[in-house]
């Protein structure tokens, strides 16, 4: 996507990690959000940064399991030490109140100090569908977007495009969205 083409050279310097800035990539599935976040994560590892890659649903499950096993504080201490957390796939599943609160607390602790990359297929207006509570949703957006780099990854799915090319079929991408 064009917005990423403009921002990628600066992101590749990894200065966003030094400054504790977040990156939020929003766009359709198949536009390269995960691939680019992984590439930035690998580059950060090679530069000596501590990096965690996880999906949002897996992170919420892990937080809930740690809470029930009384190991939440231990996990949170480890989580805070990562220079970069890549939290993939916000928006594919919604959470109960416990999951929302745990995710909010842990991502909020990083805000302004440590970098987090969030990939999502949802616009900010739709985040309430994931978190359920408008107040928590607004607070989450406020903390994550403060001095963040927002990247619009709208476009057609490269996966679908390649499949159609291989099969010789054609499909209007706008038909899928409706």
For the chain, first and last CA: distance in Å? 21
Stretch 164-174: mean pLDDT, rounded?
66
* Cα–Cα distance, 4 to 15 (Å, whole number): 16
- Choose the weakest-confidence range: 5-9, 13-17, 168-172: 168-172
Q: What is the DSSP letter of 83?
A: S
* Angle between helices 56-68 and 97-110 in degrees, nearest 10: 100
Residue 84 has pLDDT above 90, yes or no: yes
Stretch 47-76: mean pLDDT, rounded?
97
Q: Which residue has the higher pLDDT, 51 or 93?
A: 51
* Cα–Cα distance, 120 to 158 (Å, whole number): 16
pLDDT score recorded for residue 32: 95
> Edge-to-edge, what's the strand order for the sheet holding 51-55?
51-55, 84-90, 115-120, 23-26, 149-152
Residue 27 has pLDDT above 70, yes or no: yes
Residue 38 has pLDDT above 60, yes or no: yes
């Amino acid at each position: 996507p064009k917005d990423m083409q403009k921002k990628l050279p600066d992101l590749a310097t990894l200065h966003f990690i030094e400054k504790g800035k977040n990156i939020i990539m929003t766009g359709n599935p198949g536009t390269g959000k995960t691939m680019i976040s992984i590439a930035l994560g690998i580059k950060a590892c090679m530069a000596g940064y501590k990096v965690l890659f996880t999906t949002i649903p897996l992170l919420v499950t892990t937080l809930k399991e740690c809470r029930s096993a009384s190991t939440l504080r231990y996990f949170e201490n480890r989580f805070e030490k990562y220079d970069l957390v890549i939290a993939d796939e916000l928006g594919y599943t919604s959470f109960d109140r416990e999951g929302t609160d745990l995710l909010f607390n842990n991502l909020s602790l990083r805000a302004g100090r440590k970098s987090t990359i969030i990939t999502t297929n949802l616009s900010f207006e739709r985040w309430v569908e994931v978190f359920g509570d408008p107040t928590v949703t607004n607070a989450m957006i406020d903390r994550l977007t403060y001095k963040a780099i927002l990247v619009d990854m709208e476009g057609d799915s490269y996966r679908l495009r390649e499949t159609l090319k291989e099969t010789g079929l054609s499909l209007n991408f706008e038909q899928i969205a409706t």
